[in-house]
């Protein structure tokens, strides 16, 4: 089935809108997180601290700062004009991003192990930290080997996991609204603990599913007859010139 010219023309517009929304949410969340942790003041922490582990807040703050930096830089790695016109800047942003992710995942592992949020949340954060680091390593290894397309796939997956920080906060906001509406109106109300624990899993799983769906759609578009025809015509035009 061929794609109509109208659909092809609207695709870049949808892409720009999607990127704009993603960037706005990412930057807003990054500023919110960094604003709370940049002073290293434990009284501003929204996450319950383990009083038996003195370094818990310090490590949590370092995770918030490195994760916030990754969240902030990520969207600009997907800007084609930066990749093609300013490759040095693209590589610099990429290196800082991957370093932030790797450090952030190490801090996240420690924070998860000493967390007082319960086993369900601990398991989710620990699992997320491991696959967050793993996908970053795969992105780095693939680009070092010159496997550009594979590198892009892993970067998209990795940023989906990074973006789960935004997804979790959106889930919690929705949970707060739900609690206000249902409190006193249902026989067995959901608690804030239930919402938080479920959100720690839902946020990164849904983000990863959306990323995989995007990759599948992207592959379908790239392999479509119309796209192949455009590439062939462009190649023939270049050869003719």
Q: Which domains does the chain have, with CATH numbers?
A: 5-234 (1.20.120)
pLDDT at residue number 11? 67
- At 186, the pLDDT band (50, 70, 90 cuts) reads low
Work out the average pLDDT over 16-31: 94
Indicate the SS3 state at residue 184.
coil
Query: What is the Cα–Cα distance from 44 to 41, expressed in whole angstroms?
Result: 6
- At 13, the pLDDT band (50, 70, 90 cuts) reads confident
pLDDT at residue number 217? 87
Q: Check residue 147 and give left, alpha or beta (phi > 0: left; psi -120 to 50: alpha).
A: beta
- At 12, the pLDDT band (50, 70, 90 cuts) reads confident
Indicate if the alpha-carbon torsion angle 209, 215, 219, 220 is positive or negative: positive
Give pTM, 2 decimals. 0.85
Considering only residues 9 and 25, tell me which one the structure prediction assigns the higher pLDDT.
25
pLDDT at residue number 16? 87
Lowest mean pLDDT among 36-45, 60-69, 165-174: 36-45
Please enumerate in sequence order all residues whose Cβ is within 8 A of that of 237, keeping only pairs 6 or more positions apart, or say none.
Answer: none
As a whole number, the mean pLDDT across the chain is 87
- At 234, the pLDDT band (50, 70, 90 cuts) reads very low
Query: What is the Cα–Cα distance from 192 to 178, expressed in whole angstroms?
Result: 10
State yes or no: pLDDT of 1 exceeds 80: no
Work out the average pLDDT over 127-137: 98
- At 200, the pLDDT band (50, 70, 90 cuts) reads very high
Work out the average pLDDT over 68-85: 95
Q: Which residue, among 107, 114, 108, has the nearest Cα to 52 in the 3D structure?
A: 114
């Amino acid at each position: 089935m061929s794609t109509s010219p109208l659909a092809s023309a609207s695709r870049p517009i949808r892409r720009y809108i999607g990127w704009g929304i993603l960037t706005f949410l990412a930057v807003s969340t990054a500023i919110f997180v960094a604003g709370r942790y940049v002073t290293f003041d434990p009284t501003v922490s929204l996450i319950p601290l383990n009083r038996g582990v003195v370094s818990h807040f310090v490590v949590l703050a370092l995770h918030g700062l490195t994760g916030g930096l990754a969240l902030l830089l990520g969207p600009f790695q997907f800007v084609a004009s930066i990749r093609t016109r300013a490759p040095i800047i693209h590589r610099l942003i990429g290196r800082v991003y991957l370093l932030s992710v790797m450090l952030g995942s190490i801090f996240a592992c420690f924070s998860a192990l000493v967390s007082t949020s319960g086993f369900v949340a601990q398991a989710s954060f620990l699992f997320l930290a491991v696959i967050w680091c793993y996908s970053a390593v795969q992105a780095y290894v693939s680009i070092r080997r010159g496997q550009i397309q594979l590198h892009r796939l892993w970067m998209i997956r990795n940023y989906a996991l990074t973006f789960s920080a935004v997804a979790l906060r959106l889930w919690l906001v929705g949970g707060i609204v739900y609690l206000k509406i249902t409190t006193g109106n249902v026989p067995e109300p959901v608690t804030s603990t239930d919402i938080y624990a479920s959100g720690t899993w839902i946020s990164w799983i849904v983000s990863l599913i959306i990323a995989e769906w995007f990759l599948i759609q992207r592959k379908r578009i790239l392999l479509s007859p119309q796209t192949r025809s455009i590439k062939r015509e462009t190649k023939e035009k270049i050869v003719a010139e």
